[in-house]
Amino acid sequence: MERSAVFVGENCSRRSVMLSGGAIFGAACIPKIAHAAGARDPRLVVIVLRGALDGLSAVGPVGDPDYVGLHGSIALSTKAANPALPLDSFFALNPGMPVFQRMYRDNKAAIVHAVATSYRERSHFDGQDVLESGFAGPGHTTSGWLNRAIAELPKGDRAALKGGLGVGAVTPLIMRGGAAVVGWAPTALPQASDDLAMRLMDLYQHADPALARSLAQGLGIEKIASREMSGDKPQGGNDIQLMRRVAEGAAKLIAPQDGPRIAALAFDGWDTHFNEGGGGGRLAQLLGGLDGAFEAFEKTLGPAWNDTAIVAITEFGRTARINGTVGTDHGTGTVAFLAGGAVRGGRVIADWPGLKEANLYQNRDLKPTTDLRAVLKGVLAGQFGLSPSALGSKVFPDSMGVAPMKDLIA
């Protein structure tokens, strides 16, 4: 299959795109965004969604006739009780993300669908290492691609001078390396996430009932359980509120003139094996948290928002078919979110593989048709002018064959 990107704007006919079977760079499809020449001061924020985001429930291909059959009760629909938010005639956004939809309509947000790293196994640990290290395979954990990108910037570049910002108790792998990095983490001792607590409860219930009783009491487990089970009652868990707060904190640090220009964040909790929920429920709450993070960046960055690009990426996708516990298991193709004033938005960028059984990857996953590195290279090239050779050798080693995606940045 030809590797090519299809740009689909709101004004484009999905049909024409599908029929063309190749790349379309129609002028009508690309929103024209003007920005003041010469005054750009670009910023880049990369949000790592650890746990493998279900791209098919985040951005549903509601126009694909095989979607509902595979994704079952958690398939998004614009006619459901929690109606999905239309993006174009083919894709609809999870209702947890109204802010992102507004940005999309303002041409400040885009989605790349059926995207994946070069990693084709299904281990979170290795998948995250590949995603963050930028190497073609696992086993490289000393430096990350975002840090190496900073190191490749011209020495006098503002973004190079200011170094990177790594958010978290330790710098995420994606931001580790030789280039200068400052760290920041929210100060309060964070409580263990609901997800971790539930997993430990499950372990204790099978292996140590006495500890299970104690822990259940300590956690006030009934509360968590009801939140997990009754998918349609979003209450906003601790970890979900945290996303907005962390984004706010990071935005305050990169907004000032003398602040770093490039930041990395990581949000956990996307490993939705059971009771994933569709338009409502656990995943919708998590996506609401991510939506809150986008909004926090927009509000807090002020004028700097205009030259900012935020990219949210995950290690791999999830199975196209739901499993026996109304969730999804580890898969391959998924989505990447782009948002910010610098983004050439209003588009779902996809060389859509289709969801017919024969089109699924290994008869189970959304087939990846776009290399995530092409997207990330495109953003780095558009924001900071990094050359294809630096991107293909230093930032993403051994990836000269993966061309930077064009025109992601306005």
Binding residues (CB under 8 A) for another protein: these are 50-52, 124-125, 128, 141-142, 168-171, 173, 182, 184, 186-187, 189-193, 195-197, 199-200, 202-204, 206-208, 210-211, 214-219, 248-249, 252-253, 259, 268-271, 273
Nearer to another protein, 32 or 206 (CB): 206
Question: How far apart are CB 46 and another protein at their closest, in Å?
Answer: 16
CB 50 within 8 A of CB 315: yes
Question: How far apart are CB 81 and another protein at their closest, in Å?
Answer: 28
Nearer to another protein, 51 or 404 (CB): 51
Question: How far apart are CB 257 and another protein at their closest, in Å?
Answer: 14
**Pairing outcome for strands 164-167 and 181-184:** parallel
CA dist 368 and 335 (Å) reads 10
Residue located via tokens 């802010």: 99
* Residues in the chain, overall count: 410
Nearer to another protein, 187 or 257 (CB): 187
CA dist 25 and 147 (Å) reads 32
CB 375 within 8 A of CB 345: no
Question: How far apart are CB 157 and another protein at their closest, in Å?
Answer: 20
Question: How far apart are CB 213 and another protein at their closest, in Å?
Answer: 8
Torsion of CA 146, 147, 148, 153, to 10 degrees: 90
User: Which strand (E) or helix (H) includes residue 43?
Assistant: strand 43-49
Nearer to another protein, 52 or 150 (CB): 52
Nearer to another protein, 121 or 357 (CB): 121
Structure tokens at 268: 């956990």
Question: How far apart are CB 118 and another protein at their closest, in Å?
Answer: 19
Nearer to another protein, 1 or 189 (CB): 189
CA dist 335 and 363 (Å) reads 19
